[in-house]
Amino acid sequence: MPVVDVVNLDGKKVGEVELADAVFGAKVNAHLLHEASRWYLAGLRRGTHKVKEKSEVSGAGRKLWRQKGTGRARVGSIRSPLWRHGGTVHGPRPRDYSYALPKKQLLGALRSALSAKLADQKLTVVDAWQLESHKTQSLLASLEKLNFSRSALLVSHGENRNLELASRNLEGVKLSAPNALQPYEVLKHDRLVLSKDAVARLVRSLDPEKKPVVVPDVETIAAAPVKKEAAARKPAAKKPAKPRGKSAAKKGKE
């Protein structure tokens, strides 16, 4: 297992942590990284592009000149796609570019991205994101002590309001949760900074060799016995309905 130093926000070593080989030491699969990045970027597309067709552009609908006898080409509308300022045919329409990607491929791509960052020595593990203030300047000073150069992806588990407020105004810095980590974001940023809790969370969710949780057997509860007296009772026989007004009147006449 690869061993990585754990540092605090001042850049000083405070311990070590062992990373799982199945998550941070996996073989880098370039094809999976390409597919996961393509899927992620396709989902970000808004798909609001639209062109005006023949029925949507401005212009009268009358026929410009008669069909025959002028020596000119026949034309039916000024909004024809063959004319300037006419409609557009086969143009883009509003659509959704997102598609489904198998979960195993996405998890494999994330393992490859994390392993590539560790192999390039661009992965840093911090003890905790304990910021005293929500000011951007304090976070920037801490990142400079952690070899921050161009861009960084910060991964923190749990709610951290100071870190969220301090990082959202920094160019090239993005905050992400372990369960929302994307391979494209890992590759896009120059340095990956993880907290110890985030590392444990990623190992637990990405380890393909983890054992399934065994659910203990639950004893079935027998149904309550039915009382014999209630079962032995028979429903009372229904009395015949009494005749109504007309039938009773007829009997009286007879």
CB atoms within 10 A of CB 56: 11
CB within 8 A of 48, min separation 6: which ones?
94
- Is pTM beyond 0.75 here? no
d(CA 157, CA 176): 9
- pLDDT tens-digit profile of 115-147? 999 999 999 999 988 888 899 998 998 898 888
- pLDDT tens-digit profile of 191-207? 999 999 999 999 999 88
- CA dihedral for 204, 205, 208, 212, sign (positive or negative): positive
Residue type, position 148, single letter:
F
**Choice between 223 and 135, residue whose per-residue pLDDT is larger:** 135
On the CB side of 16, how many CA atoms lie within 13 Å of its CA?
Answer: 5
DSSP string spanning 39-90?
HHHHHH---------TTTS-S--S-SS-SSSSSSPP---TT-TTSTT---SS
Contact 175, 156 (CB under 8 A): yes
- pLDDT tens-digit profile of 62-119? 999 999 999 999 999 999 999 999 999 999 999 999 999 999 999 999 999 999 999 9
Mean pLDDT of the residues in the chain: 85
What confidence score (pLDDT) does residue 215 get?
Answer: 47
Looking only at the bridges linking them, the beta strands covering 173-176 and 3-7 are unpaired
